[in-house]
Amino acid sequence: MTTDVTARHVEALRAFNRFWTRRIGVLDPYLDGELSLTEVRLLYELAHRDQPTATELGRDLGLDAGHLSRLLRRFIERGWLERVPSPADARQNLLRLTKQGHAAFAPMEQRSRDDAAAVLAPLDAPARDRLLGALAHVQRALGGESAAPARTVVLRDPRPGDLGWVVQQHGELYAAEYGYTSEFEALVADVAAKYLRDFDPQWEKGWIAELDGERVGAVFVVRKSATVAQLRLLILGPAARGLGLGKRLVDECIAFARAKGYRKMVLWTNGQLEAARAIYTSRGFVRTSTEAMHAYGHDLTAETWELRF
């Protein structure tokens, strides 16, 4: 401990802590609900992270493993949380809020936003800027980074118009990033049209990824045979890269195929698509064949990958 920290310094910090805990209502039922501050914070992390593990949550929140396990079990018993086997490591479970969990947390988050707005509302713009600047300075001084705005990620079922967007995204992104011709966009349009015409909800499914309310990605599972599912049209826009969304989309496909009793999942890609190929490798897919081809204005290596369940 630094020797020049005096009793006056310590008491000043403790006085501020007492003021702030009273100001934000920590001494009362938190957010006027039945959950503790720790439970609400844990729900926040589950709602805003991309399927974390219990180990990650315990490390980042500084929670004892036994205490964390009890809290997670309580959420599972309420139907708010589910454990999903990790496709990358059978020894690990991923944690995911259910629809009921998101529904339970939503009013708590809104109440927290309202309370924060109520603290800032009496201040004029200059005072508000000074306060937020001071808070950022405190956070940096104590070893943290200034908080970035929380990103809201939603995976939902496709709606009318989404498949047209998927075709557009493939056409635009592959032209910009790989120089593909419109031949590729035509191929994607054919795949999308067949999916819409022949869609079988019992055996097939699609996901649209939204980031802060905007479409940023998609993926689809189609029935290739009674025992084989095919992953198709994985796409992720530049704004959503680096957030783990590509892996999450692939994980949803794998979980769906396993739940439906498929024995194998296959996909087609090419050697240029390094980011997608890295995801497939991390999820246990194995490349089973390659073939030289000329398509979309380029010499390519077509690849078939598969994952056996």
> In the numeric block, which tokens belong to residue 285?
């897919």
Q: Which residue has the tokens 């004029």?
A: 124
Query: What is residue 289's predicted lDDT score, i.e. its pLDDT?
Result: 95
What is the model's pTM?
A: 0.57
Q: Cα–Cα distance between 157 and 155 in angstroms, integer?
A: 7
Query: What is residue 211's predicted lDDT score, i.e. its pLDDT?
Result: 87
Query: What is residue 148's predicted lDDT score, i.e. its pLDDT?
Result: 53
Q: Cα–Cα distance between 210 and 213 in angstroms, integer?
A: 5
Q: Cα–Cα distance between 93 and 251 in angstroms, integer?
A: 12
Q: Could you tell me the domains of the chain?
A: 7-141 (1.10.10.10), 153-308 (3.40.630.30)
Question: What is the chain's pLDDT, residue by residue, as a tens digit (309 residues)?
Answer: 456 778 888 888 888 888 887 777 666 666 667 888 888 889 888 888 878 889 889 888 888 889 999 999 999 999 999 988 877 666 778 898 888 888 888 888 888 888 888 888 888 887 887 887 788 778 777 776 655 555 678 899 999 999 999 999 999 999 999 999 999 999 999 999 999 999 999 999 999 999 888 899 999 999 999 999 999 999 999 888 888 899 999 999 999 999 999 999 999 999 889 989 999 999 999 999 999 999 999 999 999 999 999
List the end-to-end C-alpha distance of the chain, in Å, as a whole number. 55
**Pairing assessment for the beta strands 298-308 and 264-270 based on DSSP bridges:** antiparallel
Query: What is residue 1's predicted lDDT score, i.e. its pLDDT?
Result: 47
